[in-house]
């Protein structure tokens, strides 16, 4: 990243316990827990927006990084393990938190 100052984040492939991969719907979007984000870029765009608690914060942050002139690079050959089940964001607890903030 030192040689590429306009790269705000590096994103890796997320591997779930069953061996399947998880990825955002859009390429080159940050993924919570599988991204390395340049502190300077994060501070410049204001970090994660609390309005998007556990739902769309990665997309919001990525859009603001792009708007600020940064790039997000994705590397399929770097893997991060994630101990959750696919679709785990639809748990009753997540829905309760989501509707409590509306």
- The pLDDT tens digits for 31-63 are 877 899 999 999 999 998 888 766 688 899 999
pLDDT at 75 over 50: yes
Give the confidence band of 79 by pLDDT, cuts at 50, 70, 90. Answer: confident
pLDDT number for residue 99: 41
On whether the CB atoms of residues 7 and 41 are closer than 8 A, the answer is no
Cα distance between residue 48 and residue 54, in whole Å? 11
Contact 28, 74 (CB under 8 A): yes
Name residue 36's beta-bridge partners: 10
């Amino acid at each position: 990243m030192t040689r590429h100052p306009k790269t705000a984040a590096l994103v890796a492939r997320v591997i779930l316990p069953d061996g399947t991969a998880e990825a955002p719907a859009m390429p080159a979007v940050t993924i919570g827990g599988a991204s390395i984000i340049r502190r300077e870029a994060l501070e410049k765009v204001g970090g994660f927006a609390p309005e998007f608690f556990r739902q769309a914060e990665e997309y919001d942050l990525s859009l603001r990084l792009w708007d600020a002139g940064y790039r997000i690079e994705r590397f399929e050959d770097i893997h991060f393990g994630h101990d959750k089940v696919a679709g785990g964001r639809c748990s009753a607890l997540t829905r309760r938190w989501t509707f409590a903030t509306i």
